[in-house]
Chains A and B, each alone.
Chain A
Amino acid sequence: AQTVTQSQPEMSVQEAETVTLSCTYDTSESDYYLFWYKQPPSRQMILVIRQEAYKQQNATENRFSVNFQKAAKSFSLKISDSQLGDAAMYFCAYKEYGNKLVFGAGTILRVKS
């Protein structure tokens, strides 16, 4: 079964600084999708960014970007110019063609002012 590992239970970043959250996954498939979801303290989970495995180019959404290393099965999230509103639990998730997402354990991000 596919597994997703987030090795950092908690991270801290100073406001306006950059932080990188790590994610590795295990799969024997070549086609799949990867996601980062954000769960703020209010608890509504929202999609931050997604990456298709067949695309070489790393996905970017405003201050959020990923470093996708397919051979290493690594999918890290970089948050630039961190803001107080970025404080949340971040989940990395994996999906093959089909309907099921597999989530990592999550990383709590704290933003210091």
Chain B
Amino acid sequence: DVKVTQSSRYLVKRTGEKVFLECVQDMDHENMFWYRQDPGLGLRLIYFSYDVKMKEKGDIPEGYSVSREKKERFSLILESASTNQTSMYLCASSYRTGGGTDTQYFGPGTRLTVL
């Protein structure tokens, strides 16, 4: 079974703090993704990575950065957390064929609250 794990289920941070969200997958997937999930908006792509040290902006990258130093690990960084970044963050991974058979597998999510 594919396993995608995220470092925390719940996180509470203060405005201005630097926040790290970690994601690890065990399926040797090339692609990894960070999404943000908000009620009424579905999932929106923040960043994705198709290889080690490679990254591409998604639809809402402002206020976020990412790091992928190892194939299995993809980190989302909030350089200076703000209250409007309070949300559910989901990590996913997949193979890189680009076709429809490369299912994205999701982690359990991190509920981040910024006070």
Contact surface of A with B, Cβ cutoff 8 Å: 4, 6, 9, 33, 37, 42-47, 50, 52, 91, 95, 97-101, 103-106
Known interface pairs A33-B99, A99-B98; 6 further A-B residue pairs with C-beta atoms within 8 A, sorted by A's residue number: A46-B106, A50-B100, A101-B43, A103-B43, A105-B42, A106-B42
Known: A43-B109, A45-B90, A52-B100. A103 touches B48 (CB 8 A): no
Say yes or no: is B87 at the interface (Cβ < 8 Å to chain A).
no
Interface residues of B (CB under 8 A from A): 31, 40-45, 48, 50, 58, 88, 90, 92, 94, 96, 98-100, 103-104, 106-109
How far apart are the CA atoms of A46 and B90 in the complex, in Å? 12
Is A100 within 8 A of B100, CB to CB? no
Q: In the complex, A47 Cα to B92 Cα: how many Å?
A: 12
B43 partner residues in chain A, CB cutoff 8 A: 91, 101, 103
**Given A43-B109, A44-B106, do A98 and B90 touch, yes or no (CB 8 Å)?**
no
A-B pair count, CB < 8 Å, reads 49
Contact among A42, A44, A50, A103 with B42 in the assembled complex (CB-CB below 8 Å)? A103
Cα A12 to Cα B88 with chains together (Å): 25
The answer, among A44, A99, A105, for a CB contact under 8 Å with B94, is A99
Q: Contact between A100 and B103 (Cβ–Cβ < 8 Å)?
A: no
Residues A42 and B108 in contact, CB atoms below 8 Å apart: yes
Whether A44 lies near B48 (C-beta < 8 A) is: no
Chain A residues with CB below 8 A from B108, complex form: 42-44
Interface hub of A33, A52, A99, A100 (most chain B Cβ within 10 A): A99
Give the residues in chain A near B104, CB-CB below 8 Å.
47, 101
B57 nearest CB across to chain A (Å): 11
**B107 pairs with A99, CB closer than 8 A:** no
Q: Which of A9, A33, A45 contacts B100 (CB under 8 A)? A: A33
Which residues of chain B are near A45, meaning CB under 8 Å? 90, 92, 106
Residues of the A chain whose Cβ atoms lie less than 8 Å from the Cβ of B98? 97-99
Contact A47:B103 (CB < 8 A) given known A99-B50, A99-B98, A100-B48 = yes
Of the A-B pairs whose beta carbons lie under 8 Å apart in the complex, a sample of 16, sorted by A's number, is A6-B42, A37-B106, A43-B88, A44-B106, A44-B107, A45-B92, A45-B106, A46-B106, A91-B42, A95-B100, A97-B99, A99-B94, A100-B58, A101-B43, A105-B42, A106-B42
